[in-house]
Chains A and B, each alone.
Chain A
């Protein structure tokens, strides 16, 4: 492959306007993903994240700009993405007439593994994604969460060097979400797999993201390492308060709470406000409080 830098993907001024629409779904987006990087895309619904990754998977034709993989424009070689990328779409209704085992075997084999390798890959993935007990179930009869685990497994079948995952933890229980992030981190650290994913699960994803892109209204509004981006939040801290809904606490003057639930507030504080805020709280009216530095979720909320 001709590629002078260590970039895997190079996205340049990528624009997508769907037929019949006036506003772009992606507007002049540019960024690079490096070899072995974990790249997370955050953004509100309709921000254009899925459109972006579908273009990176060569499933959508861009209106303008281009996407290169290992230095080669995607449109030049239709086999470029299939040879290097495992893609997990947002919807989960593929291969409905196959069993779980068959789906993993055929995907591995069609990705170029030998028959024996495909069988080994099938067993590895059944084990890795905890699918052993449902190996003979038809894919169409799986629950939403099981379908998602199977989709993750099929994306990884044949060990492609790049994974593109569109909302991998949707519909999953907290335990399974944690398992997904741990497995992806292990895949990245043990095999150097480049992982690009979309998520709304910003707090959990923060543990593995090395570079983050935040999208808002079709544009990439922030890009960089989470630690660097957090510095731009002026050293803000977040104070979370839990209380009985019928007796919310009084806050010191100048502080505005953000209501996360009827019994749960979040207050953003500058560092110099912390002492006054804590000493001014009537702790007898508070069930629980937490003081944290800015998280990826704060970044996401800040930019969107």
Chain B
């Protein structure tokens, strides 16, 4: 009997990446709103409070709002996307194609990251202008920015496939987003937070993402970047392994 062999992994990735990238057709309005307008307003609001506290505090406002955009736009979108795939039966469609689950997860994460990039540039440039901060973009940003997005993508996909309905997944996602923004020095410098909140922050990947982004976007680079990168990479591996295991093609 004539049967075809599955496509090589890189071609599977490219097809699935293009399929996932086509989500810009319905998602661009939300990207403008929650990915750009919301963080810019956040910068305006928090910046007016933090202006008297100096450049150090303003750097937390800028990068914290960038992380907020990442959480809403990248993690939040992947929560909704995977919850919808599950609810609409699209996962059944993918399950009956000769593709790897892990490639689908990676393709969706990559595509949604690409969709987030324009918002990130607008928030970064607009925020720096509003806060009168000077950007010092380090070439390592090319490596660090995707590394900050990947663990959040893994957590988003994991939440999307774990809840029974898209509504449950989205509500829990919003709660998690607020938690990740408030625990740890993401929006507010650590010296202005209670120490228990700073300690709790070590459990959140948003803390390491904010720290790494501050170093590669505003400088200076410190040895802390190595620790941040290692922990973000570990979070990525763990979350992707969890989602790969949880997103069983075969339902119970």
Contacts and interface: CB of A to CB of B under 8 A. Distances in A.
Interface residues of B, number: 31
A161 B3 CA distance: 8
A59 B97 contact: no
Interface stretch (B4-12, B37-45, B139-147, B218-226): B4-12
Q: When A and B form their complex, which 7 residue pairs have the shortest distance between CB atoms, in order from nearest?
A: A112-B4, A82-B98, A93-B88, A97-B22, A94-B93, A87-B96, A91-B89
Interface stretch (A103-111, A247-255, A272-280): A103-111
Instruction: State the main secondary structure of chain A at its contact with B.
Output: loop
Interface string A72-108: 0001001101111111010101111110001000110
Contact of B92 (A78, A86, A89): A89
A106 B96 contact: no
A110 B98 contact: yes
A95 B90 contact: yes
B83 to A, nearest CB: 13
Interface of A: 1, 18-19, 54, 57-61, 75, 78-79, 81-87, 89, 91, 93-98, 102, 106-107, 109-113, 138, 140, 154, 158, 161
Majority SS of interface residues in chain B?
loop
Contacts of A98: 19, 22
Interface stretch (B175-183, B232-240, B244-252): B244-252
Interface string B77-99: 00000000000111011011111
B23 A97 contact: yes
A129 to B, nearest CB: 17
A80 to B, nearest CB: 10
Contacts of A79: 6, 98
A81 B1 CA distance: 14
A93 B166 CA distance: 15
B3 A83 contact: yes
B89 A82 contact: no
B5 to A, nearest CB: 6
B99 A110 contact: yes
Q: Which of A75, A94, A96, A110 has the most CB of B within 10 A?
A: A110
A103 to B, nearest CB: 9
Nearest to B4: A112
B19 to A, nearest CB: 6
A59 B251 CA distance: 6
A99 to B, nearest CB: 9
Contact of B4 (A1, A91, A140, A158): A158
Nearest to B19: A106
Contacts of A54: 92
A84 B3 contact: yes
Contacts of B249: 58-59, 78
A61 B250 contact: yes
A84 B16 CA distance: 20
Nearest to B11: A109
Given A94-B89, A95-B93, 18 more contacts: A57-B96, A58-B95, A60-B250, A60-B252, A78-B249, A79-B98, A82-B6, A83-B3, A83-B98, A85-B96, A91-B88, A97-B23, A97-B25, A97-B26, A106-B15, A106-B19, A161-B1, A161-B2
A110 B15 CA distance: 7
A58 B250 contact: yes
B252 A81 contact: no
22 contacts: A54-B92, A57-B96, A58-B96, A59-B95, A60-B252, A79-B6, A82-B95, A82-B98, A83-B98, A87-B92, A91-B89, A94-B88, A94-B90, A95-B19, A95-B90, A96-B88, A97-B22, A97-B26, A98-B19, A102-B22, A110-B97, A111-B4
A57 B23 CA distance: 27
Contacts of A86: 96
Of listed A19, A81, A85, residue having the most chain B CB within 10 A: A81
B18 interface: yes
A97 B23 CA distance: 6
Contacts of A85: 96
